[in-house]
Amino acid sequence: MVLNSKTCQLNEIADKADPYKKNLGKMYKLLHEMRNHRIIPPWNPVKTKLDLLKTLHGISEDIWGILMNYSIKIDLEQIINSRNPVVIELGSGDKKRQGRVTVDKLDLPNVDIVADIEEGLAFLPDNSVDEIHCRSVFEHIQNFEDLIGEIVRVLKSSGKAYIFVPHFSNPYYYSDFTHKRFFGLYTFYYFVDKEHQLKRKVPNFYTDTRILILSQRLKFRSIFSILSPFKKLVGWFFNLHPVLQAYYEENLCYVFPCHGIEVVFTPSKE
């Protein structure tokens, strides 16, 4: 009886959501154009897409969750409004660390929010998150630029994102058919103002999203235990200075392949 009652409730909500689905694509297109013409700041689009559509149509949270294909299994509002740091882990899988709100596309055990982050972080309000952790997820993301923009939007000005991605020289990167992109020393600097970039400058005019990189480290590892001490020594040396990192990537990355890159950044919302 409980299951039937829940099913009927979901069906009722879905029926109410149907009229909005027809106009959802048009609304997204309008929002995108408004952001491109800077009618709405890129990191603060009338709070969020959620707030825009809910304001215009009075959509309830339950209906919006169905429209955006996410499900919140915790009291997220209470967590955000508490005095404790709000720590989000994107692509958590079935593992949960204490104090973190877990987000994953699959409804696995220990997942607090079931959502496809390809579609953004509409379940989070602006400037509400202290930390975002994301490990070995970005390489699976098609809408990488949009997701970085969403992370910047939801992070507080003092917030930090802790990211790990595979380096393009990682030989195992190409084995995974679900990988959509690779990363190098300069990838995240395309979101950084020129005065805060490395010696080799990269264009940052592709996007209005801005971050400030606090640290970036090349990570070396091997499945062969006999090579582990040598890999650690290589990592220690090339991480001594950004110039050494740049020299490594240009000249030695295919001699001593890099496992991945750890990046810590904070949003730049000037």
Which pLDDT belongs to residue 47? 42
Tens digits of residue pLDDT in 66-113: 555 668 888 898 999 998 999 999 999 888 899 999 999 998 999 999
Kindly indicate the confidence band of residue 202, based on its pLDDT and cuts at 50, 70 and 90.
Answer: very high
Rounded to whole angstroms, the Cα distance separating 187 from 184 reads: 5
Does 49 score more than 70 pLDDT? no
Task: Output the six-digit token pair for 84.
Answer: 């404790």
- Does the model's pTM come out above 0.85? no
- When the pLDDT of each residue in the chain is averaged and rounded to a whole number, the result is 83
User: Mean pLDDT over residues 141-148, rounded?
Assistant: 92
Q: Which residues belong to CATH 3.40.50.150 in the chain? A: 74-267
Of 125 and 9, the structure prediction assigns the larger pLDDT to 125
**pLDDT of amino acid 71:** 83
The domain defined by 74-267 carries CATH number 3.40.50.150: yes
> What values do phi and psi take at 266, rounded to 5?
-125, 150
d(Cα 144, Cα 129) in Å, to the nearest integer? 19
Q: Mind giving me the DSSP string for the chain?
A: -HHHHHHHHHHHHHHHHHHHHHHHHHHHHHHHHHHHTTSS-TT-SSS-HHHHHHHHH---HHHHHHHTT-EE-S-HHHHHHSSS--EEEET-TT---TTEEEEESS--TT-SEE--GGG--TTS-TT-EEEEEEES-GGG-S-HHHHHHHHHHHEEEEEEEEEEEEBTT-TTGGG-TT----B-TTGGGGGS-GGGS-SS----TT-S--EEEEEEEEE---SSGGGHHHHHHHHHHHTT-HHHHHHHHHHTTTTS---EEEEEEEE---
